[in-house]
Structure formats: structure tokens, C-alpha cells
């Protein structure tokens, strides 16, 4: 059974993307450059095309991952805005638009009991996402991230 999520272990990677797809595509890109340099006299157009396609695949994989994360961030913002509307007192609720997306994403780890005080502290003191996470005492795990 995995350890409960906390500030120290909440980071997440996607092994298939980070340890297979990205490395293979980057190696492919550099191999295409290497082969083009060392075999320039043979099939010039084909080698140049291989570099272009290799670069396009790296860009495609990077954009795919970044778009997944953007969609995830938008969903988190929606979920947390609904949660904040339910848990915050009216005085703090009037100021939630002052929170940026990174602060909202960090606040999602706070339990319902400590969220109102932490939001108030974030609004009044302008806490950065890392500081927000460090202030959380009762961690609310998010195991369904992309």
C-alpha cells in the first residue's frame, strides 16, 4: 500500500511519457542529426526530412503533455472554485478571484477543515504555491492527476 500523500511525496510523473516516449523521441532526433552529418552525400533530402519529422514528433509529444496539464488545471480550478464557494465565509469568497491558478492548484491539497484559514492567509499574505503546500497539516490526496 502506498504511503499517504504529503508535501514530500505529492509530485507525480507519467513513466510511459517521461521514461519512454520523451527519451525515445529525443534520441531519435539526435540520431537523425548524426546520420545526416555522417551520411550527407547519400539521400540528402531523406535525411533532412527525417530531422524535420523527428522534430515534429518531439513537439507533438511535448504539446500533447502540456495540453493535458492545461485541461487538468482548468478542471482543478472549476472543482476548487465550487469547493471554495461551499466552504469560505462571504468576506473571503469575494476575494477568490485574486488567487491565481497555481495558488488554487496548491490549495486543492488542503482538507475542508483547514481550507478557509489557508485561503484567508493566502489572500492576505500572498503565499506562493510551495508555501501553501507547506502550511497544510491535514493533506487531502489527489491520486487522479494526469
Q: How confident is the model at residue 1 (pLDDT cuts 50, 70, 90)?
A: low
Q: Answer yes or no: do 59 and 98 share one domain.
A: no
The grid coordinates listed for 120 are 484567508
* 77-112 confidence digits (pLDDT tens): 999 999 999 999 999 999 999 999 999 999 999 999
Is the separation of the CB atoms in 58 and 29 below 8 Å? yes
Checking phi first, is residue 100 left (phi over 0); if not, alpha (psi -120 to 50) or beta?
beta
| Same domain, yes or no: 67 and 97 | no
Domain boundary, last residue among 73, 98, 115: 73
Number of structural domains in the chain: 2
- Check whether residue 69 and residue 92 sit in a common domain: no
Which domain, by its residues, includes 34? 15-73
Neighbour count for residue 31 (Cβ, 10 Å): 13
Q: What is the pLDDT of residues 40-67, one digit of tens each?
A: 888 889 999 999 999 999 999 999 999 9
Give the pLDDT confidence score for residue 121 in this predicted structure: 96
110-130: burial string, b at 16+ Cβ within 10 Å, e else: beeebbbebbeebbeeebebe
Instruction: Please tell me the pTM assigned to this model.
Output: 0.79
- For residues 24 and 66, membership in a common domain is answered with yes
For 4, 103, 139, the CA distances from 118, given in Å and listed in that order, are 21, 11, 12
Query: Domain ends where: 24, 44, 73?
Result: 73
Give residue-wise pLDDT tens across range 5-38: 778 778 778 889 999 999 999 999 999 999 999 9
Judgement on whether residues 27 and 64 belong to the same structural domain of the protein: yes
> Does residue 50 lie within any of the structural domains?
yes
Same domain, 103 and 63: no
| Whether residues 19 and 69 fall in one domain | yes
CA geometry: angle at 62 spanning 12 and 37, to 5°? 125
Establish if 129 belongs to a structural domain. yes
Q: Which of 73, 98, 113 is the last residue of a domain?
A: 73
User: Percent of the chain, pLDDT > 70?
Assistant: 99
Amino acid at each position: 500500500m502506498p504511503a499517504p500523500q504529503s508535501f514530500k511525496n505529492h509530485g507525480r510523473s507519467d513513466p510511459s511519457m517521461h521514461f519512454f516516449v520523451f527519451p525515445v523521441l529525443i534520441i531519435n532526433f539526435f540520431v537523425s542529426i548524426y546520420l545526416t552529418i555522417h551520411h550527407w552525400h547519400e539521400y540528402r533530402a531523406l535525411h533532412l526530412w527525417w530531422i524535420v519529422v523527428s522534430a515534429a514528433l518531439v513537439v507533438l509529444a511535448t504539446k500533447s503533455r502540456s495540453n493535458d496539464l492545461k485541461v487538468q488545471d482548468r478542471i482543478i480550478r472549476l472543482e476548487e472554485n465550487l469547493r471554495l464557494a461551499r466552504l469560505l465565509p462571504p468576506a473571503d469568497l469575494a476575494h477568490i478571484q485574486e488567487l491565481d491558478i497555481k495558488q488554487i492548484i496548491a490549495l486543492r491539497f488542503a482538507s475542508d477543515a483547514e481550507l478557509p484559514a489557508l485561503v484567508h492567509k493566502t489572500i492576505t499574505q500572498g503565499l506562493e504555491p510551495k508555501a501553501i503546500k507547506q502550511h497544510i497539516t491535514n493533506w487531502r490526496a489527489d491520486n487522479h492527476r494526469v
